[in-house]
Amino acid sequence: MESRGAPLPGPRQAAEQAHCPLMGVGMQWLAPPTDLPRQVHNNWLGHRQRVISIPVKKISLARGMELKQEMAKNLLNATSLSARTKLLHQVGVSLYNTSHGFYEEEVKKTLQQFPGGSIDLQKEDNGIGILTLNNPSKMNAFSGVMMLQLLEKVIELENWTEGKGLIVRGAKNTFSSGSDLNAVKALGTPQDGVALSMFMQNTLTRFMRLPLISVALIQGRALGGGAEFTTACDFRLMTPESEIRFVHKEMGIIPSWGGASRLVEIIGSRQALKVLSGALKLNSEKALNIGMVEEVLQSSDETKSLEEAQEWLMQFVNGPPEVIRALKKSVCSGRELYLEEALQNERDLLGTVWGGPANLEAIARKGKFNK
């Protein structure tokens, strides 16, 4: 042990003396300021001496690595994974906030400057909602106000506890042509584009996580942002003469509402690259062949196709709301979480329905599969 008046060791020597075999980190001690009084100077050295003289149990390098990996795994399980689960199922939580440079209120003020159209929501007694993109004079293009209203409707749907399913459609027999060009022209800087991207990704991610089974009813054309919106739905149905097209390349940009990432999940990376880089026109037959849509409906009539879509969706939402909603939540967990965390979440969701009214009624019928 060195005396208090001894010169400080060099950085390498200090690192060796203070080396932690568990974490593999060498700590370098800083020399005290030269203008300290001698008593304070000696106290500083004495404190340093006491710190580095603490005995450390020697362990092998291999064991040290094992402990490091175990600690990292425990830390990940205790923080990151549980945080992901909390974020996934906590109502009102968005992807981006001020820590990402996203200031939602400022974006809302900007979007408010671009009026036109509306987002209409009708909630039926059977637990199916109908969300209509309503701006027919511009092929249901999203104005700034419509983007704001979409967020408002998503929040309303998050709190609709009786809801089981949702159909998204466009007014006047066409889906949506994407963003209103008036807003696009005015929001011309990269900063504007990124802010709008974060706003719409926030909204559509919350939409995608709704405990409702959703289906996009694609009549007419779904272009650009309209095509991206269809990917946020669980399923897609097309009328015979409808079309989906990601036209972003033709506009000199890429999808920014999350459409590219979701498209890869739906049809795979190879097909997604073809669809995006070729700005391909996907008619109903081609979209069905590549797995973009579930089914092509019989009618192109606006009213009849809506009735067909409702009938199609009903086969999946026929049952108690608490069971349908729990099923949707469990699928969201499987898609977005690590396996261990998804399994734990599935376990927790089971606890909300096991022994519940629907479960007890089914048991009383004395049959699992009788209809």
Q: Assign 12 to helix, strand or coil.
A: helix
Render pLDDT for 311-348 as a digit per residue (tens, 0 to 9): 999 999 999 999 999 999 999 999 999 999 999 999 99
pLDDT of residue 71: 56
What does the pLDDT average to over 32-56?
A: 46
Record the tokens describing residue 260, joined without a space. Answer: 């590219």
d(CA 219, CA 224): 15
Render pLDDT for 165-181 as a digit per residue (tens, 0 to 9): 999 999 999 999 999 98
d(CA 33, CA 15): 20
Whether residue 370 has pLDDT greater than 90: no
In the structure, what pLDDT confidence band is assigned to residue 9 with cuts at 50, 70 and 90? very low
Indicate the pTM of the whole model.
0.76
Closest CA to 342 of 158, 96, 89: 89
Render pLDDT for 187-226 as a digit per residue (tens, 0 to 9): 889 999 999 999 999 999 999 999 999 999 999 999 999 9
The interaxial angle of helices 190-208 and 104-111, nearest 10 deg, is 100
Q: Are 156 and 129 in contact (CB under 8 A)?
A: no
Paired residues of 222 in beta bridges:
176, 244
Whether residue 14 has pLDDT greater than 70: no
pLDDT of residue 41: 47
Q: Distance from CA of residue 220 to its chain's centroid?
A: 28
Render pLDDT for 224-240 as a digit per residue (tens, 0 to 9): 999 999 999 999 999 99
